[in-house]
Chain A
Amino acid sequence: NAGVTQTPKFQVLKTGQSMTLQCAQDMNHEYMSWYRQDPGMGLRLIHYSVGAGITDQGEVPNGYNVSRSTTEDFPLRLLSAAPSQTSVYFCASSYGQGGTDTQYFGPGTRLTVL
């Protein structure tokens, strides 16, 4: 299994540009989520999905859109990039949402918005 994969690894955008961060998992996990990590900080939840066709907002959803058309893929779209969105983005997945479920994280996408 490849686990959780993310592309691209690095991206530089200009203010106002849009782009999609890709996330895929091959473990047949129902639960997927996106976090962002700013320097010296812990991870904060952006959006999550409990299954194909079902998504919901986390604690910092503004400026981001998600969709989940398949179990495997959970892309994150930046609608109009802003310098405040400069961060490292991590995708995660788990079999379920319960308190004992282990979450598996991707390697991250490092985004710089100029």
Chain B
Amino acid sequence: DAKTTQPNSMESNEEEPVHLPCNHSTISGTDYIHWYRQLPSQGPEYVIHGLTSNVNNRMASLAIAEDRKSSTLILHRATLRDAAVYYCILRDRGSTLGRLYFGRGTQLTVWP
């Protein structure tokens, strides 16, 4: 699976939108972009994934650049509960390996 690059940390105020960037310049045409997050003292949890088009779910939105070399996870209104480490992970559509490659992710701090 190709590598991703994320900022080490970001900060936001409560109820403001948060845009978490991820660069993946070596992405292949069959790589899906996944986001997971890890709340303090918990296991990672799935947030969202997409291939080419922007995606929305109840947790977040995923905006994917036209050339797919970068993407942005958007939290529309940050809450204190969104303080977590966010991981951007690429997975090949045809992958049979099952594993997720976790980098260090982005530590998001949300201020009240």
A74 within 8 A of B: no
Q: Report the minimal beta-carbon distance from A99 to chain B, rounded to whole angstroms.
A: 4
A58 vs B92: C-alpha distance when bound (angstroms)? 18
Interface segment, B15-23, B38-46, B59-67, B70-78? B38-46
Per-residue B-contact encoding for A74-114, CB less than 8 Å = 1, 0 else = 00000000000000001010101111111111111000000
Does A105 contact B43, Cβ atoms closer than 8 Å? yes
What DSSP secondary structure best describes chain B's contact surface? loop
Does A33 contact B102, Cβ atoms closer than 8 Å? no
A98/B103 contact (C-beta < 8 A), A43-B44, A103-B46, A105-B43 known: no
Total inter-chain residue pairs, C-beta < 8 Å: 67
Does A100 contact B93, Cβ atoms closer than 8 Å? yes
Number of A residues, CB within 8 Å of B = 29
Per-residue A-contact encoding for B35-57, CB less than 8 Å = 1, 0 else = 01000011111100100000000
A108 vs B36: C-alpha distance when bound (angstroms)? 16
A107 vs B87: C-alpha distance when bound (angstroms)? 17
A33 vs B102: C-alpha distance when bound (angstroms)? 14
Q: Which residue of A lies closest to B96 (CB)?
A: A97
Does A50 contact B87, Cβ atoms closer than 8 Å? no
Does A97 contact B97, Cβ atoms closer than 8 Å? yes
Q: Which residue of A lies closest to B46 (CB)?
A: A102
Does B43 contact A90, Cβ atoms closer than 8 Å? yes
| Chain A residues in 8 Å Cβ range of B94 | 98-99
B98 within 8 A of A: yes
Residue positions of A touching B, CB distance < 8 A: 4, 31, 33, 35, 40-45, 48, 50, 58, 90, 92, 94, 96-108
